[in-house]
Amino acid sequence: MSALPASALALLLLWGTIVGLDLVSVPQGLLSRPLVSASVAGWLLGDFEAGLRVGALLELFALDVLPVGASRYPEFGPAAVGAAVLAAGLPTMEGTGLGALLGLAVALPAGWTLDWLRHANARHLHRLSAALNAGSSSAVRQLQWAGIGRDVARSAGVTALALALAILVRTQVDATAPLPALQTPVLIGVGMAAALSGALRTAGRGRRLAWLGVGLATGMVAALVVAA
């Protein structure tokens, strides 16, 4: 893989930071969905198709996540940016699998950094609790902006990690011959199971479960028709 120019790296870092910020802080507008973040990253690299494919695979895993309240979950957005960097320019099947593998490996520790962020915000809050309880507007503003600032730093850090790993793996991949292709169908299978498992969890029982079954049957028929 030819080295990424500094301008491309800077753009990817910026995009990954925006994506990380979108997940919780601002604006929560679907930018952090892996399908979106990886596709844009692929487009920035000039290989939209690779980003789209690896993003679609990671999106299946993201559909299993219900980000409610204080729940802990993997963070796919910045990880998907690294996944697209790894997948871009590689053979379709192998690139998608390798990229998704990196995305999944980064998404787990990225989720832990959200926990760190929440504790860091709480520590800051403790320090300003007297002013906050006294009704100080400046304490509220300070906490809000510091929280967003911390999330910017966190998102940039996670994106930098994903990019560094992607570039490192790409240099190794270039130096060796055929890529292991078996893992791609395996990951696709697990992704499909993850999306279905998530849908089953929210569908519950009765009519809603029946609609999931109808959708699945329709999708299978459509997939067979397209394949034929």
Partner 1 sequence: MKGRRRALLRLMAVQGAWSYERMIGVGMGYASEPLLEDLEAASPERHREATARSAEFFNCHPYLAGLALGAAARAEHDGAPGVQIQRLRTALCSPLGALGDQVFWAGLVPILMSLALAVIALGGGGKVLVAVVLAYNLFRVLVTRWALVTGLDSGMQVGTAISSSWLPGMAARIAAPAGFAAGLAVPLVGAWLLAPVAWRPVVESIVSAGAAFVLLRWGGARWTSPRVALAFAVVALLWTRVVP
User: What letters, b where the CB count within 10 A reaches 16 and e where it falls short, cover 75-107?
Assistant: bbbbbbbbbbbbbbebeeebbbbbbbbbbbebb
Residues within window 42-71 making contact with partner 1, judged by CB under 8 A: 43, 48, 52-53, 56-57, 59-64, 66-70
Residues within window 79-138 making contact with partner 1, judged by CB under 8 A: 93, 96, 100-101, 104-105, 107-108, 117-119, 121-122, 125-126, 132-137
Q: How far is the CB of 35 from partner 1 (least distance, A)?
A: 6
| Interface pattern 147-186 for partner 1 (x via CB under 8 A) | xx--x----------------------------xxxxxxx
Helix-helix angle 48-62:92-127, to 10 degrees: 60
Asked if 187 and 100 touch (Cβ cutoff 8 Å), the reply is yes
- Which DSSP state fits 222? H
| Between 39 and 159, CB nearer to partner 1 | 39
Asked if 131 and 139 touch (Cβ cutoff 8 Å), the reply is yes
Q: How far is the CB of 6 from partner 1 (least distance, A)?
A: 26
| Binds partner 1 by CB under 8 A, chosen from 12, 13, 36, 156 | 36
